[in-house]
Amino acid sequence: MDIAARTLWIAVPLVIIILGLFITLIILVIRALLKYTKSKDVRKEKETTRKSLGEAIQEHRTRCKMTQEFVAETLGVSRQAVSKWENGTSDPSTSNLIALAKLFGISAEELLREVEGQRTV
């Protein structure tokens, strides 16, 4: 056998293997996309029933009849920081979360449990 025939005997199976892997990859991507598109209703339901940390903070602040400014002054942060926590742009640090819970008269665990409890649909 000459070199061209040997190369052909090696190249053909290699091309077939690579082609098979490529086809398998395409099939897996299509399956994943189909599964993702079929889960649209589930994702939408979770999104609507989920209560964010910001919503929980705002709910407790209004329940306690406190303004954002009062909460900010009490914690030593800006009113804009409290606003960002409530609208979900940022989250309070651990120490601020503990201080918020104490200010609202609940434990930090209760505040977090309230948020996590809503996430499990």
Q: Structural domain boundaries of the chain?
A: 3-38, 51-119
CATH code for the structural domain at 51-119:
1.10.260.40
Q: Report how far apart, in Å, the C-alpha atoms of 9 and of each of 15, 16, 40 are.
A: 11, 12, 48
User: How many Å apart are CA 46 and CA 48, to the nearest integer?
Assistant: 6
CB 51 within 8 A of CB 114: yes
CB 48 within 8 A of CB 115: no
Please enumerate in sequence order all residues whose Cβ is within 8 A of that of 119, keeping only pairs 6 or more positions apart, or say none. 46, 50, 51
Q: What string of pLDDT tens digits covers the 121 residues of the chain? A: 678 777 878 888 889 999 999 999 999 999 999 988 888 777 776 665 557 899 999 999 999 999 999 999 999 999 999 999 999 899 999 999 999 999 999 999 998 888 865 544 3
Whether pTM exceeds 0.75: no
